[in-house]
Amino acid sequence: MTEAFVGIGSNVDPEQHVTQAVKLLRARFGKLHLSPFYRNPAVGFDGDDFLNGIAVFETSLSVAELVRALDRIELDCGRERGAARFAPRTLDLDLLLYGDLVTEAPAKLPRKEILKYSFVLKPLADLAPDHRHPQTGETYAAHWASFSGERSGLSAVSLPDP
């Protein structure tokens, strides 16, 4: 079994889609540990605020199988493929980490967004502060403490228990 960290984000009816995603992830993968969820402004385009958080769970699926399973959940939540990269999303599920694997294919791991965006790093630091980034060797708590990117606009959100 491998520990998988998955980013969950939405800015189209975000409370509904994030809650639905958590339910579908639980149904598919069993026990989840969830980070706090954060509201943050859209990045790269003008749009409604996003809700972002992270789920971690154990899986025996390969990276390719896991990415396909996450894509299926996105589609089940109304995600339309082929839209612009920086555009509104009903649901975005990103495999951030798969154990300590560093690879380019079938998915780029670890995701570069971990160290680039506060809405990825902060929930990861909340959920797994003592875990170490597989490339830098630093803990996520240390990365958050030294984060020099944009932190404003990030606010914790309470969601109903899915």
| Segment 150-161, tens digit of pLDDT | 777 889 998 876
Known catalytic residue at 89: yes
pLDDT tens for residues 19-37? 999 999 999 999 999 999 9
Catalytic residue among 39, 48, 76, 79: 79
Q: For residues 119-148, b (16+ Cβ closer than 10 Å) or e, as one string?
A: bbbbbbbbbbeebebeeeeebbebbbeebe
More confident residue, 86 or 37: 37
* 147, pLDDT greater than 60: yes
Q: For residues 38-55, b (16+ Cβ closer than 10 Å) or e, as one string?
A: bbbebeeeeeeebbbbbb
* 3, pLDDT greater than 90: yes
- pLDDT category at 89 given cuts 50, 70, 90 is confident
Catalytic residue among 76, 85, 89, 132: 89
Known catalytic residue at 26: no
The structure tokens 């958590």 sit at 22
* Predicted local distance difference test score (pLDDT) of residue 76: 84
CA-based Rg of the chain, rounded to a whole angstrom? 15
Distance set, CA 17 to CA 2, 44, 138 (Å): 26, 21, 32
- pLDDT category at 77 given cuts 50, 70, 90 is confident
Catalytic residue among 94, 111, 126, 161: 94
Q: Averaged over 44-54, what is the pLDDT?
A: 89
When mean pLDDT is compared across 48-57, 83-92, 139-148, the lowest value belongs to 83-92
Catalytic residue among 68, 92, 111, 132: 92
End-to-end CA distance of the chain: 25
Q: Where are the domains of the chain?
A: 2-112
Mean pLDDT over the full length of the chain: 91
Q: Averaged over 96-123, what is the pLDDT?
A: 96
- pLDDT category at 46 given cuts 50, 70, 90 is confident
* Fold topology of 2-112: Alpha-Beta Plaits (3.30.70)
- pLDDT category at 39 given cuts 50, 70, 90 is very high
* 97 touches 5 (CB < 8 A): yes
